[in-house]
């Protein structure tokens, strides 16, 4: 696992927050699921540092963009997990973040490939 670490892309500041919000758009999930989901959908290209995932979750919760509740897992009724879900404020935030991201990537693209952009 550690061998291909160099191939992975470090997440930009603030990007993790957006990815978490986007992941929760599909429904409530706990920390491990969120990490896995991000990793899988990017085909392992984006490695979520588990160490930074939890502070990010608590930060988002504190801002009111996500809410948490302890619930038993669907497969395993005996164990409770802390499930996070998107709040209304979180939904708005995600929209704002997405449009900001589009602008950013567009701008970067115009710099990198000016001909195509024009």
Partner 1 sequence: MRWMRRKERESDLDRELQRHLELEAAEQREAGVGAGEAEWAARRALGNTALLKEDVRQVWGWTAFERLAQDIRYGWRGLRRSPGFTLFAVAALALGLGANAAIFSVVDAVLLRPLPFRDAGNLVEVWEEASHMGFPLDTPAPANFVDWKRRNHVFSDMAALTGDLYALTGAGRPEQVTGSPVTANLFPLLGVAPILGRNFTTAEAREGGPRVVLIGYQLWRDRFGSNPDVVGRRIWLNAEKYEVIGVMPRGVAFPEETQIWLPLALGPRDWAARDSHYLRVFARLKPGVTIAQARADMNTLAANLARQYPETNTNVGAAVVSLRDQMVGSMKLALWVVAAGVGCVLLVTCANLAGLMLARAAGREREFAVRAALGAGRGRLLRQMATESALLAAIGGAAGVGLAVWTVPLLRRMVPAALATWSQPKVDAALAGFVLLAAAVSATLFGVLPALPASGGDPAAALQRGGRAAIGGGTRLRRMLTVAEVALSLVLVVGAGLMARTVWELSHVPLGFRPDGVITLRTALPVSAGSRYQSFASRSAFYLRVLERVRAIPGVVSAGYTTFLPLTNAGGTSEFWIEGAPPPAPGEIRDANHRSISADYLQTMGVRLRAGRFFRDSDGPAAPPVAIVNAAMARRYWPGRDPLGHRLRLGEAEAPWITIVGVVDDIRQMGLDVGGRAEMYFPCTQPAATYGFFTPRDLAVRVTGEPARYARAMERAVWDVDRDQPIANVMPMAQLVAAKLAWRETAMKMTGAFALLALLVAALGLYGLLAYTVARRRREIGVRMAMGAHPRQVLRAVLGEGLRLVLFGVALGAAASWAVMRALGNLLYGVAPDDPWVLAGAAGVLIAVGVVASYAPARRAAAIDPVVSLRSE
Residues that bind partner 1 (CB under 8 A): 1, 30-32, 36, 49-52, 54-55, 58-59, 61-62, 68, 79, 81-82
- Give the C-alpha separation, 82 to 60, whole Å: 14
CB of 45 to partner 1, least distance (A): 17
- Give the C-alpha separation, 101 to 6, whole Å: 25
Which of 24, 29, 21, 25 is CA-nearest to residue 74?
29
C-beta of 50 vs 102, nearer to partner 1: 50
C-beta of 49 vs 98, nearer to partner 1: 49
CB of 101 to partner 1, least distance (A): 23
Please tell me whether residue 80 adopts helix, strand or coil conformation. strand
- Give the C-alpha separation, 8 to 48, whole Å: 10
- Give the C-alpha separation, 17 to 74, whole Å: 26
C-beta of 7 vs 79, nearer to partner 1: 79
C-beta of 27 vs 117, nearer to partner 1: 27
CB of 50 to partner 1, least distance (A): 5
């Amino acid at each position: 696992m550690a061998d291909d670490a160099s191939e992975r892309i470090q997440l930009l500041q603030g990007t993790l927050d957006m990815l978490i919000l986007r992941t929760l758009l599909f429904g409530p999930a706990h920390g491990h699921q969120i990490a896995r989901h991000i990793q899988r959908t990017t085909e392992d290209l984006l490695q979520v540092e588990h160490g930074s995932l939890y502070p990010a979750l608590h930060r988002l919760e504190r801002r009111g963009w996500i809410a948490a509740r302890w619930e038993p897992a669907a497969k395993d009724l005996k164990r409770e997990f802390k499930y996070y879900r998107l709040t209304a404020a979180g939904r708005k935030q995600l929209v704002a973040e997405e449009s900001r991201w589009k602008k950013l990537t567009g701008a970067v693209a115009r710099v990198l490939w000016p001909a195509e952009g024009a």
